[in-house]
Chains A and B, each alone.
Chain A
Amino acid sequence: MQGSIDSTPVVTGHEVAAHEEHQDLRVLGLITFLASEFLMFAGFFAVFLVFRGSHVQWPPEETEVELLLPAVNTLILVSSSWVINLGTKAIKKNDLAGMRKWFGITAAMGAIFLAGQVYEYMNLGYGLKTNLFSNCFYLTTGFHGAHVFIGLVLILGVLWRSRRANHYTDITHTGPEMAEIYWHFVDVVWIVLFSLIYLLTLI
């Protein structure tokens, strides 16, 4: 830099952008985005509720809902939210190994959930086109499954990047934090979904 006033401490644009002004806003951005994402699921749920309210028999006879496997699956997914939180707690104490352990367990639990969902799909005895209930069922659970898959990819991405030295520390842990927030989002959506589509059939 050839400034004529070398002795004066000059704030260049780039330094301002990097340090003072442009703070890390990714977490805020993600939360804003997820608020929007939730509304898409809300749209699907609204459609489901309208159909449920306007049909005498819901779900119809040939599409009985299997409850045991999804209940176990729910247990796994909901508790994984707690596990991933242990992971980010660990990295905030600069415990990289701890973070990797808990994130690994979360990834495994997510994978089990997805495998359970695929197993459920294969053994239900009805498909996407069977009737209106199965339409709604496969669409909502399928979309949620896609989101679980994306969350899984995020967690694996965090694990992959954590191999680099000092990539995640007690100061720089936005990546794990965002993966955790996304995972909680997936969880919350599942709780609503499970209540609407599975539990409401009991009533």
Chain B
Amino acid sequence: MAQADISIKPTELQGGHGHPDKWKWYDYFTFNVDHKVIGIQYLVTSFLFYLVGGFMAVLMRTELATPNSDFLSPELYNAFLTNHGTIMIFLWIVPAAIGGFGNFLIPLMIGARDMAFPKLNAIAFWLNPPAGAVLAASFFLGGGAQSGWTSYPPLSEITANLPQTLWCVALIMVGTSSILGSVNFLVTIWKMRVPSMAWDQMPLFCWAMVATSVLALFATPVLAAAMVLLLFDINFGTSFFKPDAGGNVVVYQHLFWFYSHPAVYLMILPIFGIMSEVIPVHARKPIFGYKAIAYSSLTICLVGLFVWVHHMFTSGTAPWMRIFFTISTLIVAVPTGIKIFSWVATLWGGKIRYTTAMLFAVGLLSMFVFGGLSGVTLGAAPFDIHVHDTYYVVGHFHYVLYGGSVFGIYSGIYHWFPKITGRMLNEPLGKVHFVLTFIGTILTFTPMHNLGMQGMPRRVAMYDPQFAHLNQLVTVGAYILAVSVIPFYFNVIWSWMKGKEAGPNPWNAMTMEWTTDSPPIIENWEVLPVLTHGPYAYGMERSDEVGPAGEPLPASRS
């Protein structure tokens, strides 16, 4: 069992220096600087926004069940289209995966008492709810932003100016939150590991968060620049993106995708980290290829910054650029493939426990391979030009975002819920949730590829009747997905109040967060733990000192 090396166990330390033993319920609604509270705040708010974004999706799918536009007004459809994308990316996946899991887990995993800058951390979180409120307000002040989540000019400059302005403001707020969070993660991981933990003994989730943070740090300010220019164009009469005054709309696309392409890695790299934690624990095996997984995260981060133009193959991109960005895009598949192989190799011959966390992790493997392969096809310029702005693209990114990121978040919740709340989630209910989600995902997003190949354009409320049958299938799938969240939310709320007590380490995991109480006490440990074995040292003699993948530690680190 991975316990802290505690020879003297002092008593009543927590009350001794002015801290309460436990937070009260209302502490979770205040400006609290505890990283665990902030992590929970991120997770809970993002799960609320998930419902809002999902509700918009269900309304859109209801509209799309028939070829005619007979359910939503065109403006409302456009507003839902825009805000569904915005909310799901900026207020659901990014805050849940990065802010939620990152804040809760990083200090626990590296043996720190808190983040490097606790107040900054709280500021970063509290930028999110107002951003959501600004987006919600835009619906009442002119019907919501209408120009899609990309907000390409000139469309974004000629439709609904006030809501579009609010949209830009909301994005700048969540962007600032993301930058401040990244600064915090990087400095924390860099400087606040327990002295006995070397870089290559760190859990892989922390490696993933390093890559994520670097990416957010360098990409997000460029989005802020784009938003500022758009704001000036809309409100102050400048003409950066107005072609009739010498401006250039493609410049906006470059700035936007310089952030928004890396943003897809922001949404998946933390999930890769979660996968690398969940799979070895539930397969009872050391992770295969620790260094390969760690370095492939950094490779994805680096290459990810140089592929953004593949979103713009049809925007008049020069042929040499198409070649360069096709190749660089396809290269991303290599480090991703390395990860997939490592996880499969970890599963190979493991004593697999089919917990819900593991089911979601394995489900993610299959979903992500499928979504990743359609991504490879889209990365090739000739094919991309053919299916650009069709449902093929919609199918691809929902496969990787829902089948990848959302599955990963679910998997992480099932895995760390005992640590976060001290109680277990109900497993049978979790399995119902998994089956519904799995079927719903396949039914919703697979036919979209066919629709796209047949030429159905995306972003439209009315379509040719020949697409009706497949669209009805997609709508049915969307309803199944909508139903699938009911057992999950019920499970979480019920188990949080009345679930089985979990104990400090219900999965017999090896990483450091499991050496403290569940839920962890304020300041995490009474005495900081000492690293005695690597995070994935399964099947080893407990007394042996072993590295992350099971090899013995060099003497200097012990």
Contact = CB atoms under 8 A, between A and B. Distances in A.
Contacts of A46: 254-255
B137 interface: no
A36 B8 contact: no
B12 interface: yes
A144 to B, nearest CB: 13
Nearest to A4: B11
Interface string A94-110: 00000000000000000
Interface stretch (A47-55, A148-156, A171-179): A47-55
A42 interface: yes
A43 to B, nearest CB: 3
B239 A135 contact: yes
A177 B219 CA distance: 27
B117 A135 contact: no
Given A2-B11, A132-B239, A14 B232 contact: no
Nearest to B258: A43
Interface string B1-21: 000000010111110110100
Given A32-B217, A36-B217, A131-B245, A21 B528 contact: yes
A3 B10 contact: yes
Contacts of A143: 228
A129 B245 CA distance: 11
Which range holds the interface residue count of chain A?
A: 35 or more
Contacts of A1: 12-13, 16
A51 B226 CA distance: 15
A22 B240 contact: no
B526 interface: yes
A8 B248 CA distance: 71
A13 B17 CA distance: 9
Given A25-B116, A29-B117, A40-B221, A12 B16 contact: yes
Contacts of A32: 182-183, 186-187, 217
Given A5-B10, A10-B10, A36-B179, A29 B224 contact: no
A36 B218 contact: yes
Interface string A152-188: 0000000000000000000000000000000000000
A12 B248 contact: no
B113 A36 contact: no
B439 interface: no
Contact of B236 (A23, A28, A38, A128): A128
A68 interface: no
B340 interface: no
Given A36-B220, A39-B218, A44-B225, A17 B248 contact: no
Contacts of A11: 527
A28 B120 CA distance: 14
B222 A29 contact: no
Contact of B523 (A14, A23, A55): A14
Contact of B13 (A13, A44, A132): A13
B210 to A, nearest CB: 12
A20 B259 CA distance: 38
Interface residues of B, number: 55
Contact of A43 (B221, B247, B526): B221
B527 A25 contact: no
Interface string B179-201: 11011101100111000000000
Given A14-B17, A43-B226, A132-B245, A29 B120 contact: yes
B251 interface: yes
B238 interface: yes
Most chain B C-beta atoms within 10 Å of own C-beta, residue among A2, A16, A38, A47: A47
Interface in B105-125: 112-114, 116-117, 120
Contacts of A38: 221
A85 B99 CA distance: 37
B237 A128 contact: yes
A47 B526 CA distance: 53
Contacts of B319: none
Nearest to A135: B238
B179 A33 contact: yes
Given A16-B528, A25-B191, A43 B11 contact: no
A47 B229 contact: yes
Contacts of A22: 113-114, 116, 192
Interface string A43-78: 110110011001100000000000000000000000
Contacts of A8: 8
B525 interface: yes
Contact of A28 (B112, B187, B218, B247): B187
B184 to A, nearest CB: 7
Given A21-B113, A132-B247, A43 B225 contact: yes
Nearest to B237: A129
A99 B1 CA distance: 55
Contacts of A12: 10, 13, 16-17
Contacts of A28: 116, 187, 190-191
A55 B218 CA distance: 29
Contacts of B255: 43, 46-47
Given A37-B221, A38-B221, 6 more contacts: A3-B12, A36-B182, A42-B221, A43-B225, A47-B225, A139-B229
Q: Which 7 A-B pairs have the closest CB atoms?
A: A43-B225, A40-B221, A14-B17, A1-B16, A135-B238, A39-B221, A129-B237
20 contacts: A2-B11, A4-B11, A5-B10, A13-B528, A25-B117, A25-B192, A28-B187, A33-B179, A39-B218, A43-B258, A47-B229, A50-B251, A54-B248, A129-B236, A129-B237, A131-B239, A131-B246, A132-B240, A132-B247, A143-B228
Interface of A: 1-5, 8, 10-14, 16-17, 21-23, 25-26, 28-29, 32-33, 35-44, 46-47, 50-51, 54-55, 128-129, 131-132, 135-136, 139, 143
